[in-house]
Amino acid sequence: MYRAKSIPFASDGDCAVARYSKKDDGGINVDNRDYIISEGAFRDNNFDDEEDRMGEAYCSAWRSGWCRVRFFALTPWGNYQILGTDYTSFSVVYSCTTSLGGAARPEWLWILTRDPLEIGTPEHDAMTETVFAVINEHVPGFFDDNELRPTVQTTGSGCEYWPAP
């Protein structure tokens, strides 16, 4: 539904799709893709096969919503906090990772919805109100609608989505 404008990687397609699935070891497979309407295809990110493109995540058994994620085996784990979810329609995800001895502290935010919501509809407006309440509760004053990029959604806009598992 939204993502921070400051996110420097991928996520510049027209429609973003994230699919999460259980791994045999208790972790989570993470598959993020962008759909490019003008190309009529999902971006393949130049990976040779699906296994190379798949990220992985693990969440704390002791602290609800605290997870770590990575997309390449040799990269450090990234912070991935689930600030709020109703488990059926939305999740608000936040990442803040300090590196370079504190010199770098990127903060990113994603708002994910289970079903596409067309921008400007009453449903989209209601969900925006709901998720911004979560954001303001957990990271007050940090994000506003000028710092978030809306994600085009709905098949009516030309987006394609994977079938639900």
Q: 118 near 128, Cβ under 8 Å?
A: no
The residue segments making up the domain with residue 97 are 2-157
List, run by run, the mean pLDDT of 10-residue segments along the chain (165 residues). Answer: 74 72 91 79 56 78 90 83 93 82 76 88 94 89 73 74 59
Give the integer Cα–Cα distance in Å for 122 and 89: 15
pLDDT at 46: 46
Provide CB contacts within 8 A for 35, sequence distance 6+: 13, 14, 15, 16, 17, 41, 42, 43, 159, 160, 161
165 domain residue, yes or no = no
Number of domains in the chain: 1
Q: What CATH number is attached to the domain comprising 119?
A: 2.40.128.20
pLDDT at 73: 81
Identity of the amino acid at 19? R
